[in-house]
A and B are shown apart, each in its own frame.
Chain A
């Protein structure tokens, strides 16, 4: 174990650079700007929906690389592996839960008109 690294040695293990921060910042501004513009300008439809989701994912990856310096560590890349595993777990949680809940909703609530599901006074009829 090399437990007593000096400050200079420790600093070398951190991988940030000015260039990366500026790129990450400008990228985030640009991607957020496009997303907000598309929605605030009043565009509608599923194309816009998928576009802003895509922009968010792109910006998340950009920030992971340029702000959190993912993938810059030396091999073996345990941190990158941890993040990739986490993405797998998160996708299972999110997609799995949404699948179960919307499937249940469809199977149990299908006969009802949309407004019946929401209005308070109808709720007691279906408890």
Chain B
């Protein structure tokens, strides 16, 4: 029985054998390794959170209204990125580019807000060299911000490819991978605003 299973030409309905599915599975594997990175950074922050070395604590530094704005902007970016992919499914290139432009602008304003927050902290003298708390804070939130920034570069490349080549098998696969990356970053942000900002102020 097993012999015929291997040699026969009949198609076995396994949905994970084509290039698209394998690429998506590989991308899931990448995202999962990335969450090991974020998990480690979260633990580091959790351990060092109260080691302020006589400097300011999270109560003194965090401003929640800015974090609310960052959360909303990143969520809208994630949502419109998904709507763009739905437009790609319908073959509507214009709508795809429109939604992705909105997603890009929202992602960009997230990065701008985070850079503003960081530079304000540094200007006031609260750099990553001041205490273990600030080191771990900048490492965790900065790593997420770096991911978002790289995602923005990726988005520019993708928008260019869609303009030039349209929605093909290849560009669609890349759009799906990017979409997963973007949703993943929004998911990490949930934990950052909860465990860093909200719990830091609570």
Binding site of A, secondary structure by majority: helix, strand, loop or mixed?
helix
Q: What residue of chain B has the Cβ atom nearest to residue A92's Cβ?
A: B39
A57-96 vs B, Cβ < 8 Å mask (1 yes, 0 no): 0011001100110000111101100110110011001100
Task: Report chain B residues within 8 Å CB of A68.
Answer: 180, 183-184, 187
Task: Report chain B residues within 8 Å CB of A90.
Answer: 35-36, 39
User: Is A124 in the interface zone, CB < 8 Å from B?
Assistant: no
* Interface members, chain B 35-64 (any A CB < 8 Å): 35-36, 39-40, 42-43, 46-47, 50-54, 64
* Interface members, chain B 149-184 (any A CB < 8 Å): 167-169, 172-173, 176, 180, 183-184
Instruction: Choose from B19, B32, B50, B71 the contact partner of A3 (Cβ within 8 Å).
Output: B19
Binding site of B, secondary structure by majority: helix, strand, loop or mixed?
helix
Task: Report chain A residues within 8 Å CB of B68.
Answer: 36, 40
Give the docked Cα–Cα distance between A1 and B18 (Å): 6
Instruction: Choose from B32, B168, B199 the contact partner of A52 (Cβ within 8 Å).
Output: B199
User: Is B118 in the interface zone, CB < 8 Å from A?
Assistant: no
- How many residues of B sit at the interface, in one of the four size bands? 35 or more
Task: Report chain A residues within 8 Å CB of B176.
Answer: 14
Task: Report chain A residues within 8 Å CB of B184.
Answer: 68
On chain A, the number of residues with a Cβ less than 8 Å from chain B's Cβ atoms is 60
Given A10-B172, A79-B25, A90-B39, check contact A36 B198 (CB 8 Å): yes
Give the docked Cα–Cα distance between A1 and B86 (Å): 27
**Are B169 and A5 in contact (CB-based, < 8 A)?**
yes
B20-40 vs A, Cβ < 8 Å mask (1 yes, 0 no): 110011001100100110011
B126-166 vs A, Cβ < 8 Å mask (1 yes, 0 no): 00000000000000000000000000000000000000000
**Are B193 and A32 in contact (CB-based, < 8 A)?**
yes
Task: Report chain A residues within 8 Å CB of B169.
Answer: 5-7, 10
Task: Report chain B residues within 8 Å CB of A60.
Answer: 187, 190-191
Query: Shortest 10 CB-CB distances between A and B: which pairs?
Result: A56-B194, A86-B32, A74-B15, A67-B183, A97-B43, A101-B47, A25-B79, A90-B39, A21-B82, A39-B198
